Amino acid sequence: MTQYIIKRIGWIIFNLLVLSLIAFILIKNVPGSFLELQILIGQAGTMGTGLTISEVEKVRGVETEMMKRWGEDVPLWQQYLTFIKGLVTLDMGPSFRWPTQTIEEIIANTFPVSFTIAILAVTIAIIIGIPLGVLAALKQNSWIDYLVSALVMVVSAIPNYVMAVFVIFLFSFWIPILPTYGWGQPKNYILPVLAMSFGPIGSIAGYMRTSLLDALKQDYIRTAWAKGGTERHVIFGHAMKNSLIPLVTILGPMISHLILGTVFVEGMFGVPGMGQYFSQAAGSRDYPLMMAQTVIFGLILMIMNLIVDIIYFFLDPRIRVSRR
């Protein structure tokens, strides 16, 4: 197991290097710059009269200071090494758009917000999705099964930002009991978490139904019935226990997807998470923050997959045998 973990960590480092190189090349070739965009915004804000000389110089000064750090006057490979050095040493300097904050500070402040929303959404999805999947499996081919299956298809197909619009309309206009914007209070978590949980509920319910139906067809279940086991003991003591193991496989990627997929939802509810900062960084051509967050997103996904594999290793003895 130790050798397996070391090997996986090595692959994570290699994949992060590849991801960082791809992100660096793509972002560096995006047309436009922070300075050009700020000038255009200033022109639009002054009804087309353009920025004054002092305003242009002020914007140019901000970008110039940032560019010195990243070595814009040196070859790209040296700029890339500077970027990697900043990642490794956790010293990536200030953001273009938020020059008073370092990139590390932005990530440190926004990651807990996105992670909390993702964990709460997955928790709700587990609490609701598993019972729905079990009910559908035990009532296979009944109207309950068809209803649950239809609900699973609907909520799985609707994007989370559409669900965000739905919960805003439901709980802020039709039943005005929750705030639709802002942050800092427990009630501000409710609507974003609800919007993010519908899709996972459908995925977990559908996965649980399929897994339990497959478990009920296994030989050990027939043996348990033959030994005179009760329905409660056979289903919940044997079939249910084993059908939950494959469910672990999707939880890691699901949490990663929710952390990465909060861009629109965070913007709609005014949540100061990684998703909102990433979208604003992309819109303002804040290249250092974009590159750093891209690597962080990739690292989160790889770590969650590794954690899932380790948990799965201990839950399923067959995995341990195959590793020997």
| CATH number of the domain enclosing 114 | 1.10.3720.10
- Residues 108-120 have a mean pLDDT of 87
Total number of domains in the chain: 1
- Amino acid, single-letter form, for residue 140: Q
**Beta-carbon contacts of residue 90 (< 8 Å; ≥ 6 apart):** 104
- Identify the band that residue 310 occupies on the pLDDT scale cut at 50, 70 and 90: confident
Instruction: Please give the pLDDT value at position 44.
Output: 47
- Residues 307-318 have a mean pLDDT of 72
Instruction: Please give the pLDDT value at position 46.
Output: 46
Instruction: Please give the pLDDT value at position 185.
Output: 79
pLDDT surpassing 50 at residue 77: yes
pLDDT surpassing 80 at residue 162: yes
Residue scoring higher pLDDT (100 or 57): 100
- Does residue 280 belong to any structural domain of this protein? yes
Instruction: Please give the pLDDT value at position 71.
Output: 60
Q: What is the pTM of this model?
A: 0.76
Nearest Cα neighbor of 204 from 258, 239, 254 is: 254
- Identify the band that residue 12 occupies on the pLDDT scale cut at 50, 70 and 90: confident
- Does residue 27 belong to any structural domain of this protein? no
Identify the weakest region by mean pLDDT among 61-75, 183-197, 204-218, 258-272: 61-75
Residue scoring higher pLDDT (216 or 128): 128
- Does residue 131 belong to any structural domain of this protein? yes
- Residues 298-306 have a mean pLDDT of 85
Instruction: Please give the pLDDT value at position 48.
Output: 42
What is the C-alpha radius of gyration for the chain, rounded to an integer number of angstroms? 25
- Does residue 222 belong to any structural domain of this protein? yes
Q: Across all residues in the chain, what is the average pLDDT?
A: 76
- Does residue 147 belong to any structural domain of this protein? yes
d(Cα 310, Cα 312) in Å, to the nearest integer? 5
- Does residue 156 belong to any structural domain of this protein? yes
- Does residue 45 belong to any structural domain of this protein? no
Instruction: Please give the pLDDT value at position 51.
Output: 46
pLDDT surpassing 60 at residue 238: yes
Residue 75's alpha-carbon distances to 79, 82, 95, 292, in angstroms, are 7, 11, 21, 20
d(Cα 204, Cα 206) in Å, to the nearest integer? 6
Across 54-58, 138-142, 243-247, the highest mean pLDDT is recorded for 138-142
pLDDT surpassing 70 at residue 14: yes
3-state helix, strand, coil in the chain (%, to 5): 80, 0, 20
Residue corresponding to tokens 């090494």:
81
Q: Could you list the residue range(s) of the whole structural domain that residue 207 is in?
A: 108-284
- Does residue 319 belong to any structural domain of this protein? no
pLDDT surpassing 60 at residue 202: yes
d(Cα 60, Cα 51) in Å, to the nearest integer? 12
Residue scoring higher pLDDT (211 or 228): 211
pLDDT surpassing 50 at residue 42: yes
